[in-house]
A and B are shown apart, each in its own frame.
Chain A
Amino acid sequence: MATCHSMLGFEDVSCRRGGKTVLQDVHLSCKRGETLALLGPNGAGKTSTIGLALGLLRPSAGRIHIDGHAPGSLAARQTIGAMLQGGRPAQAMTVREWLMLAGAGRGQPSPLDEAIQMADIEDLLERQCETLSGGQLQRARLAAALAGQPRLLFLDEPTAGMDIDSRHRLWAGVGRLRENGCAILITTHDLDEAEQLSDRVALLHEGRVIACDHTAHIGRRVPGRVIRCRTRLEEATLAAWPDVEGVRLSGGHTTLMVRDAEAVLRRLLAADPELSALEVRNAGLEEAFLHLIHDHREQAA
């Protein structure tokens, strides 16, 4: 193959919808056996990117290919499986019928068992889709995306509304698919999830890819470290300290993004003798995400 196993390719793709530019010069690719996480705040263009890849939207400039085929073509559709946000099957359709239809046009005969197991919907097969709960429906969507063993999988916020158990099952499944050579494009808000699943991350902001790198590398692009602890100190106080780049309070924990970890640590311990649950680590995806967007905003400004 000319593109050497590149299952998905965006080349300088721009997209305008309703007079607004939603994507600008996007360049993306996803190889066989690779998982690409598409990250970005709401409105960054993640869903539009998937829409373009699926052929639901048309680019206003640039080229997109799905394993060498145009998005929306039958060949492209036979290659992909897509788990989209929202959307429910036609009324009175059973889960089994949904899965059969989802797998119907695929190239080779293949059992649906794997999809059913992975999505844990064995008990739901004869249910009509409108009787499913949100989580059940999400699992059925996953099964439909997996039906017929796609070679390119789109997962748009796949774990939203799933319980922990299903979520783990999904992660395990995605891992297996990747091992089998499936290319996966995933959008998520859960950075832990992205960090755990993806080989590479593309960060979208305001319609532009502001960073695209291996997941492991991307954290390193952020110079600083992260201190996490329980403390009485005010957020505003901490933010005013030199070397502190950002402060976040969540679940009783305070997270500090710092340039000089040792200096800040000393000062922390000195300022709050009752400080506990101290943790220091290198900056991760989350920090990189915040940092990069921060930078991008500043540049734009």
Chain B
Amino acid sequence: MNTVTLPSRAGSTARALWLETETECARLLRMPESLVPTIAFPAFFYTLFGLVFDMGASNSAATYYLAMMGSIGVIGTGLMGTAIGTASERSGGWLDMRRVMSLPRSGWVVAKLVANLFAGLLALLPLFFLAAVFGEVRLNQGQWIGLALTLLIGGLPFCAIGLMIGSSMGERAAIAIANLIFLPMLFFSGLMIPLAFFPDWLQGIAPLLPAWHLGELALMQTRGDSAGQLVHWLVLLAWAGLASGLSAWLLRRSRQQ
């Protein structure tokens, strides 16, 4: 009786991709110590800002912060998760090990992206639940799904930024630097505190940060605005391109040493 066999039809690229993706997602679930904080952080602040401090009779804060904390959720899983994961796999030798294996080169990126979508979804579900049940947020079916998709897809550029961090430094440094980028970026993008409370010169910083663009896109989804989204998407795309290009260069360079 075989205990383990290779997957039937092994050798097919799709099968290898599937296997690696599955493994990546399973690993994610085995590491609650890094998953839970990235989920709990936005949920906690949503409860605080969106539900408890929502003074007005309307549920505008509940809706507004759903967009904001949703952005924080996917940025957290994308940026932190990828940065730390990449750094540890690179310094631990796994990246070189898998380069020798007969896995398709793209598999690592695909698995990382899918697992990140999965983690992002796990971060969004409790937020949406809180918003719907306690925040009395009411959106059209299409808006709910559109908001989730916007956040998940819009979160991918942050994976690229995380990848860039993870490619350029060791695990400990990556944790420190990712945090150092993460928290101030949330703050200066107005995701924690609305920009209106900031002085003008500080408000000017926000459009330079990708997080602000994601927040704007999410807000537009909650309002049902479709006009004006393109610019924000293009900015996110540019960030994604820049960060992944830089990461590819960094990874190639680190291999040569």
Contacts and interface: CB of A to CB of B under 8 A. Distances in A.
Interface in B16-37: 16, 19-20, 23, 26-27, 30-31
Interface in A57-107: 72, 74, 77-78, 80, 82, 84, 86-93, 96-97, 99-107
B115 to A, nearest CB: 11
Contact of B7 (A18, A96, A104): A104
Contact of A112 (B6, B98, B257): B6
B140 interface: no
Given A106-B10, A106-B11, A148-B10, A100 B102 contact: no
Interface of B: 2-11, 13, 15-16, 19-20, 23, 26-27, 30-31, 85, 88-89, 92-94, 96-104, 255-257
A109 interface: yes
A92 B88 CA distance: 12
25 contacts: A84-B93, A86-B93, A87-B96, A87-B97, A89-B92, A89-B97, A90-B85, A91-B27, A92-B31, A97-B26, A100-B4, A100-B6, A100-B19, A102-B101, A104-B15, A105-B103, A106-B6, A108-B11, A109-B6, A111-B5, A111-B6, A112-B2, A113-B2, A116-B3, A125-B4
Contacts of B257: 18
A104 B100 contact: no
Which 7 residue pairs across A and B have the least CB separation, nearest first? A87-B93, A105-B102, A92-B30, A104-B16, A112-B4, A92-B27, A78-B102
B99 A56 contact: yes
Interface of A: 17-18, 54-56, 72, 74, 77-78, 80, 82, 84, 86-93, 96-97, 99-113, 116, 122, 125, 128, 147-148
Contacts of A56: 96, 99-100, 255
Contact of B102 (A77, A86, A93): A77
Contacts of A86: 93
A116 B1 CA distance: 13
Given A89-B94, A105-B16, A109-B5, A77 B101 contact: yes
B92 A90 contact: yes
Given A84-B97, A103-B6, A109-B9, A91 B31 contact: yes
Contacts of A93: 23, 27
A224 B31 CA distance: 61
Contacts of A116: 3-4
A7 to B, nearest CB: 15
Given A74-B102, A101-B101, A108 B2 contact: no
Given A87-B92, A89-B97, A91-B27, A96 B4 contact: yes
Contacts of A91: 27, 31, 85, 88-89, 92
Contacts of B31: 91-92
